[in-house]
Amino acid sequence: MPNSVSPTSAVPMNTPEICVVIPAYRAAQFIGKAIDSALSQTGVALEVIVVDDHCPDDTHATVTARYGHVANLSVVRLDRNGGPSAARNAGFAAARAPWIAVLDADDAFEPGRLRHLLDVAGAFAADMVADNVRFLDEAQAALSPPQIQAIRSATEIDRYAFVAAARPFNQDMDYGLLKPMFRRQFLEDHAIRYDPAIRHGEDFKMYFDAMLCGAKFVITPQPGYVWTLRTSGKSQTTVDYTAQIAMSESLAKRSDVVDDGRLVSLLHDRQQALGRLETLNGFRHAVQSGKRVQAIRLFLGHPFIVRQYAGRAIRKVARLIR
């Protein structure tokens, strides 16, 4: 996919320590918050690369007009829409820094995030380092508490701990939603990139591939990434849990996985959890759209929906029956 790279300034800069890659699609109205949160990081030398994934809106014009004077910000424009994986890969290919951090266009970094991640990475000689996440509910103007409670201090996790935690309905958030910073040399040495065929769940696959190549993955409990909930309407991701289930099944059959019974079992657990989430979302949609028969059938056929919603679910079904 041919790209064009347009620096917003010709002023030279020293080699950066971290490259922040911001993939963007239809993001003109809100990407400024993400960019500002990256540029305001302190204690690190940065380059920021915005990847215009062939946006049909004026994302490119908005970014260049507002940030055209910023020496360490550039824009990569793709000549066709490739989705989040292709956009991130394009940013990775343009990066010069030894570390790469992905920032989605509707999300934000908290102050001091990148300096903290760099310090943790150095202390552990890590290849990937992630921090805690807080969810932003824009409709309620509410920021959640940190979503990882099980980790109390910076901790290295192995492939088994990662897959066990990378699924819904755990005590903590799905670790597949984390946004680690990557050591660029490790990714290049092992030819690891996002799978461009995947448009939902691409993060999990990337992290899984890296860990199977021996990546040292460290998680710190300090919150640093603000993840905007999809209820904001800003996310351009098309949710596809069926594809994620199929991906987990495919990974379990891979030659470098199939003989590892423990890992295969964890991937199977992930499939089941994703299946429950897909069913739960189907129930929510049926209730919201007034499809009474479908909602009642799902409610009666899947006891975990009752456990998930408890009294709230019973009240909703009761209203449908009336």
* pLDDT recorded at residue 308: 67
Question: How much is the pLDDT for 284?
Answer: 67
pTM score, whole prediction: 0.85
Average pLDDT, the chain: 88
pLDDT (0 to 100) of residue 41:
97
pLDDT grade for 316, boundaries at 50, 70 and 90: low
**Residue 191 φ then ψ, to 5°:** 50, 45
Query: How many beta carbons lie within 10 A of that of residue 45, not counting itself?
Result: 13
Closest listed residue to residue 31, CA positions, set 50, 17, 15, 18: 50
pLDDT tens digits for 86-101?
Answer: 999 999 999 999 999 9
Is residue 141 scored above 50 in pLDDT?
Answer: yes
CA 13 to mean position of chain CA atoms: 29
% pLDDT > 90, the chain = 72
What backbone torsions phi and psi does residue 78 show, to the nearest 5 degrees?
Answer: -90, 145
pLDDT computed for residue 77 by the predictor:
95
Other C-beta atoms closer than 10 Å to the C-beta of 90 total 24
Q: Which two tokens stand for residue 244?
A: 């994620």
Percent of the chain with pLDDT over 70: 83
- Between 140 and 252, the more confident residue is 252
Beta bridge partners of 195: none
Q: What is the pLDDT of residue 282?
A: 64
pLDDT band at 12 (very low <50, low <70, confident <90, very high): very low
**pLDDT score at 287:** 76
Q: Report d(CA 253, CA 165) in Å as an integer.
A: 20
Q: What is residue 86's three-state secondary structure?
A: helix
What is the per-residue pLDDT across 175-232, written as a single tens digit (0 to 9) for each?
A: 999 999 999 999 999 999 999 999 888 999 999 999 999 999 999 999 999 999 966 4
Q: What is the pLDDT of residues 273-302, one digit of tens each?
A: 998 877 767 666 767 778 777 766 766 666
222-271 confidence digits (pLDDT tens): 999 999 996 645 555 666 889 999 999 999 999 999 999 999 999 999 99
Task: Give the ranges where the chain is alpha helix by DSSP (H).
Answer: 31-39, 59-67, 83-94, 113-124, 159-165, 184-189, 202-212, 241-252, 261-288, 292-301, 303-309, 311-321
Separation CA 107–CA 229 (nearest Å): 9
- pLDDT at res. 8: 40
Q: In the predicted model, what is the mean pLDDT of residues 166-183?
A: 95
Is the model's pLDDT at 14 over the cut of 80? no
pLDDT in tens, 101-118: 999 999 999 999 999 999
